[in-house]
Amino acid sequence: MAKQQAARHTDHPLGPIVSSAHLAAGAMPALSELEFGLILLGHAFERWMVRCMAAAGVPDLSPLDVLVLHTIAHRDRAKRLADICLVLNIEDTHLVTYSVKKLEGLGLVTSGRSGNEKNVVIARKGEAVVANYTKIREALLVAPVKGAGSDERRLSEVAAMMRALSGHYDQAARAAASL
């Protein structure tokens, strides 16, 4: 019965494409499909970031290191560690602190203090690396995605839905932590 119910909520003849059929057997199989897609997309995206950064000249960075570097480079303004954590939705601030130290050691960012706050800015070397990453991204990722006929408006809609869903997952995590 659960398989029949799940199959009704998808266009795929075999039912929803999921990693956990027991979760898809619930009231919203499409959410399980989304979660499996997020798993695949998340791993592919992390692999891409690391490989693109290596091609840009900086091997051995973690996916988080790459995200922190791009966040620091964003809008060419100094960033507080708390702001980097907020933007990336990271609770464990020491992870970002470690990434910043690693990026500083590579000469990609510099840090200083403004009162009690540690501020981080992109260094010239970091700017060059980010520019090279951007160039590689345009050639190897953006061009093929555009060439496949992806609708930019639809991509923006999906991104907005993902951001909204992140709030539901955060609230559910808070509720689960209180059980």
Cβ-based neighbour number of residue 68 at 10 Å: 30
Reported pTM: 0.90
Residue 114 pLDDT level (bands cut at 50, 70, 90): confident
Residues 5-57 pLDDT 10s: 444 455 678 778 999 999 999 999 999 999 999 999 999 999 999 999 999 99
Token code pair at residue 132: 């090279």
User: Quick one: pLDDT at residue 10?
Assistant: 55
Residues 123-156 pLDDT 10s: 999 999 999 999 999 999 999 999 999 999 999 9
Per-residue pLDDT at 4 exceeds 80:
no
The CATH architecture of the domain made up of 56-145 is Orthogonal Bundle (1.10)
Name the average pLDDT for the chain. Answer: 93
DSSP alpha helix (H) spans, the chain: 2-8, 21-24, 29-55, 63-73, 81-88, 93-105, 124-137, 143-147, 152-177
Per-residue pLDDT at 121 exceeds 90:
yes
Residue by residue, DSSP assigns 156-171 as: HHHHHHHHHHHHHHHH
The residue-averaged pLDDT of 49-74 equals 98
35, 18 contact by CB (below 8 A)? yes
Q: CB within 8 A of 169, min separation 6: which ones?
A: none
d(CA 28, CA 21): 12
Residue 165 pLDDT level (bands cut at 50, 70, 90): very high
Q: Tell me the CB-side half-sphere exposure of residue 63, using CA atoms within 13 A.
A: 9
Residue 1 pLDDT level (bands cut at 50, 70, 90): very low
Q: CB within 8 A of 50, min separation 6: which ones?
A: 61, 62, 63, 66
User: Quick one: pLDDT at residue 13?
Assistant: 81
